[in-house]
Amino acid sequence: MRKYTVLFDIGNTHSKIGFATKSALESAYALPTDRRSTSDALGIALQGLLRHVGISSKEIEACVGSSVVPAISSMVREACARFWGQTFLLAPEDLPVPLENRYANPAEVGSDRLVGAYAARCLMPEPRSIISVDYGTATTFDCVTENTYLGGLICPGIFSSLEALAGRTAKLPHIALSVDEDSPVVGRSTVLSINHGFIFGFAAMTEGLCRRLADTLEGPVGTIATGGFAGSLARVAPYFDSVRPDLLLEGLRLLYYK
């Protein structure tokens, strides 16, 4: 019987759930992070997800996660225990992340940033330093040199920025945040102006900050992008050495099996 680890990347806006074996992350799904839910509702949803991927609860050997939403962590812990008889292991509390943490107050670092930095180092062992960029609720830049987490930058997120703009603009049309062009054009409509302003604006921010951060790090420096919008940004900002949308889930898989 194959054994699977269920991975939970619990974020402020969305939570990713992955199914992994020792050798690979086999599938991943994104669900809204709903603080109004209950552990029973979550457990029933997880049971449905198991049926969808064709895995039985007897094939689950562990439940592992990182979370920036403590209320959801408690729900997942209760659901894993009640529905699968599994203890929910959280990084770094239950699974220490093997990086030296140079933050002034190490406890301030979000577990997602620390696990993502660890995954970046594991997946890119050659460069002396790495900049990992995560396009989530916030856009974060995390810096690693050798096996030391140095810290990084926290910037506005692309979708949260768009929501903030929509909240202050009564007639803002629906924006898909997608472009076909490789360079920005002068917008002659609101949709085009916002699409190109946001996408190429965040691309320019990414390139500029990565270059400036790289000047402060010991080289050579590698770059990796993750998060739901990483692929779209990487197409117009070809600065990254690697794009791994599920970097954090990969980090959780590596933490557990290593």
d(CA 17, CA 4): 12
Q: Any catalytic annotation for residue 241?
A: no
Phi/psi for 78 (5° steps) reads: -70, -40
Which tokens is 80 given? 């894993």
Burial 151-185 (b: 16+ CB within 10 A, else e): bbeebebbbebbeeeeeeeeeeeebeeebeeeebe
Q: Which of 9, 34, 40, 112 is the catalytic position?
A: 112
| Enzyme catalytic residues | 112
